């Protein structure tokens, strides 16, 4: 028996599982566990929606950002990117109009 025949195929912890047509529920279960084990705060953004920033419109017009605000914006963007990285280009294009990770997850 060669060593290649004894190696199991698994899921990488560094990259999200990729959605394969016809296997949505399996992917969703794997992705949920993957994101929860890698960044639970991002999972909360996906599940509950973007964490809101007080006075966002005013802050967007200035450079008056607090570190907590920057962390929140980063978490919101990272959650969207995790989902995007698990999809094929065709699915990414379908979700371009979604402005939050939760909207992409529910689409």
- For 1-58, what is each residue's pLDDT tens digit? 444 444 335 556 778 888 888 998 999 999 999 999 999 999 999 999 998 888 877 7
Residue 101's pLDDT band (cuts 50, 70, 90) = very high
Residue 10 has a pLDDT of: 57
Q: What is the 3-state secondary structure (H, E, C) of 75-96?
A: HHHHHHHHHHHCCCHHHHHHCC
Instruction: Please compute the mean of the pLDDT values over residues 72-77 and round it to a whole number.
Output: 92
Residue 84 has a pLDDT of: 93
Do residues 104 and 84 touch, judged by C-beta distance below 8 A?
yes
Does the pLDDT value for residue 78 go beyond 90?
Answer: yes
Q: What is the 3-state secondary structure (H, E, C) of the chain?
A: CCHHHHCCCCCCCCCCCCCCCCCHHHHHHHHHHHHHHHCHHHHHHHHHCCCCCCCHHHHHCCCCCCHHHHHHHHHHHHHHHHHHHCCCHHHHHHCCCCCCHHHHHHC
Residue 89 has a pLDDT of: 92
Does the pLDDT value for residue 59 go beyond 80?
Answer: no
Measured distance CA(69)–CA(79) in Å, rounded: 16
Residue 46 has a pLDDT of: 94
């Amino acid at each position: 028996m060669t060593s290649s025949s004894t190696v199991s195929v698994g899921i990488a912890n560094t990259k999200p599982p990729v959605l394969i047509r016809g296997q949505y529920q399996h992917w969703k279960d794997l992705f949920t566990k993957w994101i929860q084990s890698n960044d639970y705060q991002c999972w909360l953004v996906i599940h509950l929606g973007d964490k809101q920033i007080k006075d966002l419109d005013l802050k967007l017009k200035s450079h008056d950002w607090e570190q907590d605000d920057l962390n929140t914006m980063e978490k919101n963007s990272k959650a969207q990117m995790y989902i995007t990285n698990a999809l094929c280009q065709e699915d990414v294009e379908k979700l371009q109009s979604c402005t939050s990770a939760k909207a992409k997850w529910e689409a």
